[in-house]
Amino acid sequence: MEQQEIRSKFPVFSQNKRLVYLDNAATSQKPEGVIDRVRQFYLSENSNIHRGNYPLSSRASEYYAHSKQTVSHWIDARTPEEIVYTKSSTEAINLVAAGMDGLTGPENNIVTTELEHSSNYFPWKELCRRTGVQFRVAEVEEDGSLKTEKLLKLIDCHTKLVAVTGMSNAGGFCPDLKKIISEAHNKGALVLVDATQLIVHRMISVRELDCDFLSFSSHKIYGPMGLGVLYGKQSCLELIPPLLYGGDMVLRGDGDQIIYKSNTEKFEGGTQNIGGALGLEAAIEFLQENEFEALLEHEKALAAYTRQRLEKIKGLHILNSGPDSPIILFEMDGIGAYDVGVLLGLKDIAVRCGSHCAYPLMKRLERQSLCRVSLAVYNTKEDSDRLAAALEGLNSLRKL
């Protein structure tokens, strides 16, 4: 399919024809099919699930269950019973962390890395602070990459969990997940993969990875905001108590005993984001219908092209490794990152500038703030050319 045809499916670009949107690691734009699906739910299908014995409620319950089936197929889970909906990937990770609050003793440890987004770093750091469990962090290299051996050296027979990103949201580096997971399991540790960035740039099979938990957010993969996904092996979900207690998550609560519903339902107390779940399903269907792997090939080629364009700009320095990474970190001589972002914004070019919720990585890079370009399937060479031209113009301005 022609790239302009893909781009035309995202209404934001017809609303603002000058927009160059390169902040996709923060959130993606939404295809028309996703917007229409959410609108349809609230227009003609709105009802709460699992509570009514009338047709409208029954249909909503069926649609909600079917969305989980679509998600489970997308990540190659064994069953929809391994899919839990949360409000975000952040909540999904915190759910797992809260479930491990019973850990005690300085002989035990949890391992993570300096690549992590705050959502997969601070929950574990806080858990270790409360419980006295060791908090071990694998250091990254100066280019934002991670040597697998550095992480593996931290894992021992007392490691209870390894929390690792599938793709760094700041630099785009992808750890060797299969090796990390295999070695962690050999030592008896569980593994949680934060796939919030990876999910939109790679096909994922949780069965091939053999991870115990995996999380991602709907809004990063062209779906609505306000919905997260936690995948967990059924045996692992059974070990974790609910995070939220309330309606629709218990079978019985007589006396001192509480009997929960199924593994996934016990984590979904209260009214769920049903419209968001249907929107996520529509986003996955959009990617399936438009040959996701072909879209990723375009994205990969565009990433290489964008990097080549930026490398030619005098005074601009790219900090992360990976010639075809969809995420590019850079800085410019004599112009602060915040100023670069504001000046590009005046030309309708959206990039992200700051610490990117990646404080350990930024500390390792010895930077307070950097500019980030992050690509999506609807971006084009024209976007990259306009970005490069605008940055060259800023470079000229700096010389005055």
Instruction: List, for residues 57-70, the tens digit of each pLDDT value.
Output: 999 999 999 999 99
Phi-psi region of 357 (alpha: psi -120 to 50; beta: other; left: phi over 0): left
How confident is residue 157, by pLDDT bands cut at 50, 70 and 90? Answer: very high
Neighbours of 340 (CB within 10 A): 22
How confident is residue 1, by pLDDT bands cut at 50, 70 and 90? Answer: low
How confident is residue 243, by pLDDT bands cut at 50, 70 and 90? Answer: confident
Give the pLDDT of residue 324: 86
CA distance 61 to 111: 39
Is residue 4's pLDDT more than 90? no
How confident is residue 248, by pLDDT bands cut at 50, 70 and 90? Answer: confident
Is residue 368's pLDDT more than 80? yes
State phi, psi for 378 to the nearest 5 degrees. -90, -5
Give the pLDDT of residue 259: 75
Taking all residues of the chain, what is their mean pLDDT, rounded to a whole number? Answer: 94
Kindly state the average pLDDT of the residues 329-335. 95
| Residues noted as catalytic | 357
Q: Position 282: which residue type? A: A
Give the pLDDT of residue 278: 98
Q: What percent of the chain has pLDDT over 70?
A: 98
Is residue 16's pLDDT more than 70? yes
Is residue 257's pLDDT more than 60? yes
- Of 133-137, 179-183, 236-240, which gets the smallest average pLDDT? 236-240
Kindly state the average pLDDT of the residues 149-160. 97
Nearest residue to 230 via CA among 345, 77, 351: 77
How confident is residue 254, by pLDDT bands cut at 50, 70 and 90? Answer: confident
How confident is residue 134, by pLDDT bands cut at 50, 70 and 90? Answer: very high
- Of 17-31, 143-157, 385-399, which gets the smallest average pLDDT? 385-399
The full 3-state SS of the chain, as one line of letters, equals: CCHHHHHHCCCHHHHCCCCEECECCCCCCCCHHHHHHHHHHHHHHCCCCCCCCCHHHHHHHHHHHHHHHHHHHHCCCCCHHHEEEECCHHHHHHHHHHHCCCCCCCCCEEEEECCCCHHHCHHHHHHHHHHCCEEEEECCCCCCCCCHHHHHCCCCCCEEEEEEECCCCCCCCCCCHHHHHHHHHHCCCEEEEECCCHHHCCCCCHHHHCCCEEEEEHHHHCCCCCCEEEEECHHHHCCCCCCCCCCCCEEECCCCCCEECCCCHHHCCCCCCHHHHHHHHHHHHHHHHCCHHHHHHHHHHHHHHHHHHHHCCCCEEECCCCCCCCEEEEEECCECHHHHHHHHHCCCEECEEECCCCHHHHHHHCCCCEEEEECCCCCCHHHHHHHHHHHHHHHHHHHC
Give the pLDDT of residue 146: 95
Give the pLDDT of residue 3: 82
Give the pLDDT of residue 399: 55
How remote is the C-alpha of 323 from its chain's centroid? 21
Give the pLDDT of residue 55: 94
Helices 274-289 + 292-311 axis angle, to 10: 80
Is residue 369's pLDDT more than 80? yes
Q: What percent of the chain has pLDDT over 90?
A: 84
Is residue 398's pLDDT more than 70? no
Give the pLDDT of residue 37: 98
Is residue 328's pLDDT more than 60? yes
Kindly state the average pLDDT of the residues 122-148. 95
Beta-carbon contacts of 184 under 8 Å, excluding residues fewer than 6 positions away, are 111, 155, 159, 162, 190, 191
Give the pLDDT of residue 289: 95
Kindly state the average pLDDT of the residues 111-129. 97
How confident is residue 103, by pLDDT bands cut at 50, 70 and 90? Answer: confident
Question: How far does the chain reach from its first CA to its final CA, in angstroms?
Answer: 45
